[in-house]
Chain A
Amino acid sequence: MTGWIQGLRKVRGALGSAHPMAGPIFRRQEQGFHFCRMLVPAFYGLMFFSAMQILPFWEGIMSRTQLQLLWPVMWLDGILMQEGILGILILYLVGSGLAMVLPQWFVIRLLAFLGVFSFWALNNSTGKIGHSLHLMILISFVLLWLPTGWHSPNAGRMIRSSLLWVIGGAQAVMLLSYSMAGLVKLIAGLAQLVQGEPNVFFPDALARHVADRLLQTGSESWVGEILIDHLWISGPLMWFTLYIEFFAIWAVFRPRLQPWFAAALISFHIGSYFSMTIIFPQNCVLLGLFLAAQPTVGGWQKLDIRKLLEDLPGMGWCFRFRSKVWQRGSRPGIDRPQSGTPV
């Protein structure tokens, strides 16, 4: 068990930055801890807001009859359907509302998780599964592991570390989902490339996605036509998105990158709306709360562009290589010879 953890620490070390975040580590833990204490009720506040937003649709949801029930709500089949659906809707609303106010209670966090999980399973039992609440479900599950006493400002160091680990886990869940999206795009792109089909490495990839989506829904978008007509814009945008998505998980190990990756992913979601009319508002808020605000290191650090660039995947080794070449030519205390200087 300990061996596993040590192995993972080695992986973390290998992925670590050439210039890890310096500064007083215990003070950052203290700041991070207090930041994360506020983050948990904010998360449940977002969940409660989502639950409130569907209030006008309760009647429509309850009148559904042709349902292909997903496994978490399969039990609805054996009881009165309408009453069961009403129970799920009430659980979602009340559970998330209570968790916003009393997140320190495990039972209440469990109710909130069961509420959002059941609601989303019910809402997606119509044949097509949407994904706008998936991250919220996964994070609310991770938050079940918050240690007893996490909400107390006088919590001990181990409790603080545990809280930071849980929040770090929530960050990792979010970033891993984006990395998986990037990985699948990469694999599918290679398969299409081998088969001679249009693929993600071609400059018209984004234009094709936008055209297909707009034709599917018969809708219009603000920038869709611009992206279709100007492949020199849409091509690099697609490749940049692929880079950010694929390497998103990298940011878990490099806190300096987190706000910038979050900003890039939020921009990607906003861009998706203006080009394809697809919107993931909850994901944007979660990215803002859990990553852009840098909760685990206690807020924003001083911006150092060179270190930021070194942290980027694929860039760090360039800088290290440059430094090594530089060091090889010089010795401590001896200046590098200037060109034209006689040796």
Chain B
Amino acid sequence: MKALIGRWIGLEGGVVSKEKGKKRNELGTFKNLGGRRSELFYNNAMSLYRRIQLAVVFFLSAMLVLGLSALMRPPSYEIFPFYSWSMFALVPGEKDQFYAMVGNDGAWVEFTRAGGLVYQAQSVVAYNVIQKLGRAALENDSEGVANWRQQFEKNYLPPGTSFQIQHRRVDPLTRFQQERRGTGVPDGLTVVMEGKMAP
């Protein structure tokens, strides 16, 4: 395998001589190797050097092209492992927000505050699953609801837990100030789906 891949990317070129007592000159060859052998050695090393240059430039170009073209591949924006690095690119303004409320009827607790009732209450992955579930429910996408509900229930809810997914458009800065004043979840939420885990 090394021979195959090595021949392609030129790893076989420019092998260092293990012969002892030979003085290296400026070109990386050996003075007493003899003309033809010395020339071959130099050519191999030069060819290796060129191939490495090309490989690095090609890889960087591929990284740029594939990464940026991944911007047209939502939702991950990625051709793994080439990513567009579009993290925090869009500044959040007013947007649709879905809240998972868990507990029993009449005593709902917001998911991120329900550390004792659910698994991984502060996980950003859970947040993304809730948003996708809420979006699917809002758009009556039954297949999406089934898929994301299964993930939500299996990974984050213990058996017997009731939950609601509620929706509202909110501005993060305004919402953060409200939250700091202790007003809890925002007013005017619309319930987009309800469910209960089997005991």
What is the interface of chain A, defined by CB distance below 8 A to chain B? Answer: 1, 4-5, 8, 66, 70-72, 106-107, 110, 117, 120-121, 124, 126-129, 131, 134, 137-138, 141-142, 144-145, 147-149, 152, 154-162, 165-166, 168-169, 172-173, 176-178, 180-181, 183-185, 187-189, 192, 197-200, 202, 204-205, 207-209, 211-212, 214-219, 225, 228
Contact = CB atoms under 8 A, between A and B. Distances in A.
Nearest to A152: B16
A216 B26 contact: no
Nearest to A241: B88
Given A177-B85, A216-B112, 18 more contacts: A106-B11, A127-B129, A128-B76, A129-B83, A141-B59, A145-B9, A157-B28, A162-B45, A165-B56, A188-B86, A189-B89, A198-B91, A208-B92, A208-B172, A209-B91, A211-B175, A211-B176, A218-B121
Interface string B1-26: 11001100111111110000000101
A155 B81 contact: no
B92 A209 contact: yes
Nearest to A107: B2
B169 interface: no
- Most chain A Cβ neighbours within 10 Å, of B2, B9, B12, B16: B16
Nearest to A193: B91
Contacts of B11: 106, 145, 147-148
B92 A129 contact: no
Contacts of B80: 70-72, 121, 124, 129
A209 B88 contact: yes
Contact of B13 (A147, A157, A176, A199): A147
Nearest to B63: A176
Contacts of A120: 81
Interface of B: 1-2, 5-6, 9-16, 24, 26-29, 42, 45-46, 48-50, 52-57, 59-60, 63-64, 67-68, 71, 76, 78, 80-81, 83-93, 110-113, 121-125, 127-129, 150-151, 154-155, 172-173, 175-176, 179-180
Contacts of B84: 180, 184
Contacts of B154: 66
Nearest to B113: A218
Contact of A217 (B10, B52, B112, B151): B112
Given A142-B59, A208-B91, A166 B176 contact: no
A1 B67 contact: no
- Most chain A Cβ neighbours within 10 Å, of B48, B55, B150, B172: B172
10 contacts: A5-B54, A145-B9, A154-B24, A155-B28, A165-B56, A168-B56, A183-B68, A199-B91, A209-B91, A217-B127
- Most chain B Cβ neighbours within 10 Å, of A110, A162, A202: A162
A127 to B, nearest CB: 7
CB-CB nearest 9 A-B residue pairs? A156-B28, A218-B112, A158-B45, A169-B56, A149-B16, A211-B176, A181-B85, A212-B172, A157-B28
Contact of A197 (B28, B93, B111): B93
Given A149-B16, A188-B86, A216-B124, A200 B53 contact: no
A126 B132 CA distance: 14
Contacts of A162: 14, 45, 48-49, 52
Contacts of B125: 126-128
A158 B49 contact: yes
Nearest to A105: B2
Nearest to A170: B56
Given A106-B2, A126-B125, A211-B175, A1 B91 contact: no
A189 B71 CA distance: 15
A156 B29 contact: yes
Contacts of A216: 112, 124, 127
Nearest to B51: A145
Given A142-B59, A180-B84, A208-B93, A165 B173 contact: no
